[in-house]
């Protein structure tokens, strides 16, 4: 049977439609039915995710006018799936999170929870566009769609001071980095007269070396802007506070979706600059430098953390470091390495956050101490968390290990010895702080022994995610063949 495969562009439009319908329903529906928007978003995004698995890469050259803006190659499609998958899981988490959310937002008359399920849909749309963006203008617009959705989501719990602090920090630093990014685009445009990635590279290649300094400056500014999005050192300062303060599902989306979107843009921009022979060495040296700093800062600052959300913030910085290692070792495998690593990262991070939300609701906190004796209180959740932590640390038979293997294979192939040496040390550090959570769950005896309950949907999701992590750790072929 030959199923009609959906046009990748349709996926984006469908997400847009879901978001708009949900917004209209929120505006015109009865107060009582408003929990419905949550389920509708979950269901809608879930359906689109399933459809996206049947989509095939397409070339729009000569078909549409905007083909210079928008591309739908295998990589773009893969990152659309990542965006859809992470949004879906985050929406499932948000359903678990309702109770906590209700405590921190004012009564029904002043606006309720519905937008909490609608804004991620728009953020998802932004990420999907970003995956397809082939033009600086398009990149900028989609980046802003994501970032502005996050400004609202991060500070969603209006009665929590920590949450508001996080929102302000994210807003100010986010706006600043956007400024850098636009300024960089302006410089590139000023030098080359182009905004399309392909054309910019073409013009740059023909420029005399002396005339490139403007483009170099623009490139540096763009790296600053993107460094903020992917949480690379030295643009990581916002990460711990924002991650800790934001509502947990938002933190999850921030650490997975936003990062994945940042990396696809970085991959495209970096590839573009690296294709210019005179810039090749410079841009890779900058990336390698950022990778070293990010690895060291993320992994070593994570060591003393006692709060799991903060720990995950530093861990997110650390993983950005490994991804930057892959970027700095630009070669034939880079796209598949980065994509696989992000897919693995998505599974293990979202599994962690999902378990965290359930435990947070039951114990009222997200310190590592709250996980004491989880193996007795809920063996299933503890086991899911165990798999997630092992994968994050990079133990074989998990997707996380395979991702790290691919990163270091690329680094060795490109003879990036410094990155390999630093990576070896940081992997050891990672073992310590991830196993700290395992240690709390399994070694320590619970102070309270009441069982922790979770909804069936959550339990099923935990099992599926853990299963996928182990499966991809042994059999990565499905992901790799998606990228061909």
23 versus 395: smaller Cβ distance to other proteins: 395
456 versus 477: smaller Cβ distance to other proteins: 477
227 versus 403: smaller Cβ distance to other proteins: 403
99 versus 379: smaller Cβ distance to other proteins: 379
State the minimum distance, in angstroms, from the CB of residue 420 to other proteins. 6
360 versus 378: smaller Cβ distance to other proteins: 378
State the minimum distance, in angstroms, from the CB of residue 374 to other proteins. 12
State the minimum distance, in angstroms, from the CB of residue 424 to other proteins. 5
Interacting residues with other proteins (CB under 8 A) = 375-376, 386, 390, 393, 395-397, 401, 405, 408-409, 412-413, 420, 424, 427-428, 431-432, 435, 438-439, 442-443, 445, 474-477, 480
State the minimum distance, in angstroms, from the CB of residue 120 to other proteins. 34
Q: Label residues 440-473 b or e (16+ Cβ within 10 Å = b).
A: bbbebeeeeeeebebeeebbebbeebbebbeebb
State the minimum distance, in angstroms, from the CB of residue 431 to other proteins. 4
State the minimum distance, in angstroms, from the CB of residue 276 to other proteins. 25
State the minimum distance, in angstroms, from the CB of residue 343 to other proteins. 15
Torsion sign across C-alpha atoms 438, 389, 352, 462: negative
334 versus 375: smaller Cβ distance to other proteins: 375
141 versus 395: smaller Cβ distance to other proteins: 395
34 versus 409: smaller Cβ distance to other proteins: 409
State the minimum distance, in angstroms, from the CB of residue 193 to other proteins. 39
User: 3-class secondary structure for the chain?
Assistant: CCCCCCCHHHHHHHHHHHHHHHHHHHHHCCCHHHHHHHHHHHHHHHHHHHHHCCCCCECCCCCCHHHHCECECHHHHHHHHHHHHHHHHHHHHHHHHHHHHHHHCCCHHHCCCHHHHHHHHHHHHHHHHHHHECEHHHHHHHHHHHHHHHHHHHCCCCCCHHHHHHHHHHHHHHHHHHHHHHHHHHHHHHHHCCCEHHHHHHHHHHCCHHHHHHHHHHHHHHHHHHHHHHCCCCCCCCHHHHHHHCCHHHHHHHHHHHHHHHHHHHHHHHHHHHCCHHHHHHHHHHHHHHHHHHHHHHHHHHCCCCEHHHHHHHHHHHHHHHHHHHHHCCCCCHHHHHHHHHHHHHHHHHHHHHHHHHHHHHHCCCEHHHHCCHHHHCHHHHHHHHHHHHHHHCCCCCHHHHHHHHHHHHHHHCCCHHHHHHHHHHHHHHHHHHHHHHHHHHCCCCCCCCCCCCCHHHHHHHHHHHHHHHHHHHCCHHHHHHCC
State the minimum distance, in angstroms, from the CB of residue 360 to other proteins. 24
101 versus 439: smaller Cβ distance to other proteins: 439
Structure tokens belonging to residue 109 = 């008359």
State the minimum distance, in angstroms, from the CB of residue 142 to other proteins. 32
Torsion of CA 411, 327, 319, 419, to 10 degrees: 40
129 versus 442: smaller Cβ distance to other proteins: 442
């Amino acid at each position: 049977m030959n199923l009609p495969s959906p046009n990748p562009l349709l996926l984006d439009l469908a997400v847009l439609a879901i978001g708009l319908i949900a917004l209209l329903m929120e505006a015109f529906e009865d107060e009582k039915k408003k929990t419905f928007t949550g389920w509708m978003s979950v269901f809608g995004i879930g359906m689109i995710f399933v459809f996206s698995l049947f989509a095939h890469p397409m070339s729009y050259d000569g078909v549409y006018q905007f083909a210079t803006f928008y591309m739908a190659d295998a990589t773009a499609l893969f990152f659309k799936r990542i965006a859809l998958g992470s949004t879906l899981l985050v929406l499932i988490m948000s359903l678990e999170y309702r109770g906590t959310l209700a405590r921190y937002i004012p009564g029904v008359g002043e606006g309720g929870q519905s937008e909490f399920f609608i804004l991620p849909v728009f953020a998802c749309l932004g990420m999907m566009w970003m995956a397809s963006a082939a033009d600086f203008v398009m990149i900028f617009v989609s980046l802003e769609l994501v970032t502005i959705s996050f400004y609202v989501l991060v500070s969603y719990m209006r009665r929590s001071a920590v949450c508001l602090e996080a929102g302000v920090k994210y807003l100010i630093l986010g706006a600043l980095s956007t400024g850098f990014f636009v300024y960089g685009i302006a410089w590139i445009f000023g030098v080359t007269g182009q905004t399309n990635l392909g054309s910019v590279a073409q013009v740059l290649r023909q420029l005399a070396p002396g005339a490139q300094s403007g483009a170099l400056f623009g490139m540096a500014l763009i790296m600053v802007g993107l460094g903020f999005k992917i949480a690379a050192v030295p643009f990581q300062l916002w990460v711990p506070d924002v991650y800790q303060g934001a509502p947990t599902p938002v933190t999850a989306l921030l650490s997975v979706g936003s990062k994945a979107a940042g990396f696809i843009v970085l991959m495209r921009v970096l590839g573009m600059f690296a294709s210019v022979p005179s810039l090749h060495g410079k841009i890779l040296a900058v990336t390698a430098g950022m990778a070293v700093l990010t690895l060291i800062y993320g992994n070593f600052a994570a060591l003393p953390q006692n709060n799991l959300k903060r720990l995950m913030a530093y861990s997110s910085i650390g993983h950005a470091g490994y991804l930057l290692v892959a970027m700095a070792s630009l070669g034939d495998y880079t796209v598949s390495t980065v994509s696989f690593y992000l897919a693995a990262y998505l599974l293990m991070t979202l599994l962690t956050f999902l378990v965290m939300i359930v435990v947070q609701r039951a114990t009222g906190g997200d310190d590592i101490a709250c996980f004491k004796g989880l193996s007795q209180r809920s063996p299933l959740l503890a086991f899911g968390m165990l798999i997630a932590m092992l994968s994050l640390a990079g133990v074989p038979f998990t997707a996380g290990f395979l991702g790290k293997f691919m990163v270091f294979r690329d680094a060795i192939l490109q003879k990036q010895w410094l990155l390999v040496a630093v990576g070896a040390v940081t992997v050891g550090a990672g073992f310590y702080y991830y196993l700290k959570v395992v240690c709390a769950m399994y070694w320590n005896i619970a102070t309270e022994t009441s069982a922790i309950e979770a909804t069936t949907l959550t339990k099923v999701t935990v099992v599926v995610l853990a299963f996928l992590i182990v499966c991809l750790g042994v059999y990565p072929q499905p992901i790799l063949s998606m990228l061909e």
